[in-house]
Amino acid sequence: MSAIEQFQEYFKLKGVGVKFYPGEIDTGKMQFLKEVKFCQAVKLARDQQVFLDKDSIICKGARYALGYNKGTKEEIVNAIKFKRGVSKEIAEQLVDNIPTIKDPGFDYIGLNVDDPDIYIFYMTPKRFMEFLKVYQRTGNNLEVKLSSITAMCGDVAAQTLTTKKICLSFGCDDSREYGEVADEELIVGIPKETIEQLADKIR
């Protein structure tokens, strides 16, 4: 049994493995998604293998977090200012704090694929606490950075990939709507290496 199979069986979870491909990929049975939000793609990938390219993602926040389009910063600032009713200064602070992939270096993103870079899970707080207790058996503790925007794409996907650390989010409006994150769930990103390290702790 692989580390991820062992992990998912132990915690009674099913995650979505996300891989960032620097070049051409063998699409195999993967379905190509067009005009989706990243969180929407994660939801769809829970039941099938899918892949995206840089033109697939229509959400400006996700494109910004994933490093595909830094030129949208001002548009995102203005959208937050209008939607949240906050000052431009506060909106700029929120955008400046979005975890981002500085130099993407990848052409495709595969979801629910073998040998991923990171895993994304939906967890209840109770399940996350069970996971945290196991994680702390490794001698590590958990520090988190939270935001109310770009939950799935920034706080979880981009941040987990770039820091190689466990990251979580309470979910932004879009991830709850398009990613179908339930009110009682958190979004958790875990590097593949961490899953493999934990395998010894749950045997």
* pLDDT beyond 90 at 190: yes
Q: Which of 190, 17, 163 is nearest to 101 (CA)?
A: 163
- The pair of structure tokens assigned to 161 is 């990939």
Q: What does the pLDDT look like over 143-189, one tens digit per residue?
A: 888 888 999 999 999 999 999 999 999 999 999 999 999 999 999 99
Check: CB of residue 147 under 8 Å from CB of residue 97: yes
Residue 29 pLDDT: 83
What DSSP character marks residue 14?
-
Mean pLDDT within 28-34: 90
Q: Residue 71: pLDDT band by 50, 70, 90 thresholds?
A: low
Residue 27 pLDDT: 81
Mean pLDDT within 8-14: 94
Q: What does the pLDDT look like over 95-135, one tens digit per residue?
A: 999 999 988 889 899 999 989 999 999 999 999 999 999 99
pTM, 2 dp = 0.93
Gyration radius of the chain's alpha carbons: 17
